[in-house]
A and B are shown apart, each in its own frame.
Chain A
């Protein structure tokens, strides 16, 4: 059986394409063609199901824990660059290390896995520190920075700032541009288990991405928007012929706000926050429908 859908016709080639589909590596046209082949051939469908099942099982494997002590040890490596080598040498004569960094590794290598976050205070009390007037200040800044990083968690580093008109305008122009582009999405998938890891891998953060297909709002993919110089995740849903862009800006403050109408220029826009993310939903569909989408998303995302 041959096809003229542009896909490879050998079993090996089509199998690789199924893997690529599951991995979210195909553009919309190729994804559609592969999905059609799968629908037409039970053996390809079984292979597809196997790959999905296997990928799910592998991704559910427990990840190694990053212990606080280990994280602090690595954070201390980052701090080491802010110390002058000469000062480090002067402050640690008892170790006989030429600089702070090997001293640190020597400690760790010898099995003394102490939290390296205590280093700044040790250094401050040593006589050599006086030669570098700014050192106290730097060490202080360094420990504050470590605490901030530890407290804010790994996935939230891309964010901050609040709502402003500039942000809404940028969301709107991103949506408009996406409608003009060859594809409004960078990752084509109706499977949130593909979209979320894709976003996570690129920008280290991914919002809730419930599939609302049963409600008439199908998740069709995602993309990364750059707004105010920061990458933010955007999900794309389809409702009949309308596309809905949902930009989700990670939020630090944790405040929850009710949907707020920011519509302008032929598009309808609704903004709300759930504590974890600040959302902007924009579409050219009518306001009541957009409100319906927002309500269903909020219900499904909790």
Chain B
């Protein structure tokens, strides 16, 4: 994540231009909301979105790379969630909100830091690579579990940040946001086996990284 501090400043300077993209939505929202009860929708927003703000911020923080951008992204995502709240059909509210946060994160990054984005075409190659090499590490025996358990926060955060994006987002959705495999598969639109191999690969990379630095 190159020079995220300066990128964050750049994003603030450009903030007004982002508004023009958002601006057309709200009148439509209100019209749509009026069909149901507006107050019922507002209440649903409170129940569906507000309890999961911590998770939303955590996901956005790991996808964008820093906490200040995460607040901007989550705010954008909540506006979208508000616009689409009448389409929330029950089920896991956290997964529903996080799907929006994830999509918003990538839209936001493609606007604010085009070079940081990974081309979608790379994902298939990565999974092929993961499958070809297996999730196993070169040295079959990873570090001792006790070494991993003792790893300090900064080392672990750096190791997660260094993961390639598909592995990082899968790990974060599972181990930080606590989503189930099926929910992650649905969110990323990949088979459940891909979720499993990405997760195993991500954990394998983290374990070997922590074993090396400890």
Contact = CB atoms under 8 A, between A and B. Distances in A.
Interface of A: 11-12, 15-16, 19-20, 23, 25, 43, 46-47, 49-59, 61-66, 70-71, 73-75, 77-85, 98-102, 105-106, 108-111, 138, 141-142, 145, 149, 154-155, 157, 197-198, 200-202, 204
A16 B200 contact: yes
B41 A81 contact: yes
A141 B61 CA distance: 33
A62 B26 contact: no
B54 A78 contact: no
Contacts of B157: 61
A200 B94 CA distance: 10
Interface in B24-64: 25-27, 29-30, 33, 38-39, 41-43, 45-47, 49-54, 57-58, 61
Contacts of A102: 19, 22-23, 26
B70 A85 contact: no
Interface of B: 12, 15-16, 18-19, 22-23, 25-27, 29-30, 33, 38-39, 41-43, 45-47, 49-54, 57-58, 61, 67, 70-71, 74-75, 78-79, 82, 85, 92-94, 134-136, 140-146, 148-149, 151, 153, 156-157, 160, 171, 174-181, 193, 196-197, 199-200, 203, 206-207, 210
B58 A63 contact: yes
A106 B145 contact: no
Contact of A82 (B38, B47, B71): B38
A257 B148 CA distance: 43
Contact of B50 (A64, A106, A149): A149
B180 A57 contact: no
Nearest to B86: A81
A164 B26 CA distance: 44
A54 B79 contact: no
A30 B102 CA distance: 32
A46 B145 contact: yes
6 contacts: A16-B197, A58-B175, A85-B30, A98-B27, A101-B26, A157-B47
Contacts of B141: 43, 46
Contacts of A23: 174, 180-181, 199
A111 B46 contact: no
A171 B78 CA distance: 36
Contacts of B18: 109
Given A23-B174, A50-B145, A157-B51, A79 B136 contact: no
A99 B82 CA distance: 15
A226 to B, nearest CB: 12
Contact of A61 (B15, B38, B42, B156): B156
Given A12-B135, A108-B75, A64 B54 contact: yes
A142 B42 contact: yes
B94 A80 contact: no
B155 to A, nearest CB: 10
B42 A52 contact: no
A66 B55 CA distance: 9
A39 to B, nearest CB: 16
Contacts of B49: 74, 78
A19 B75 contact: no
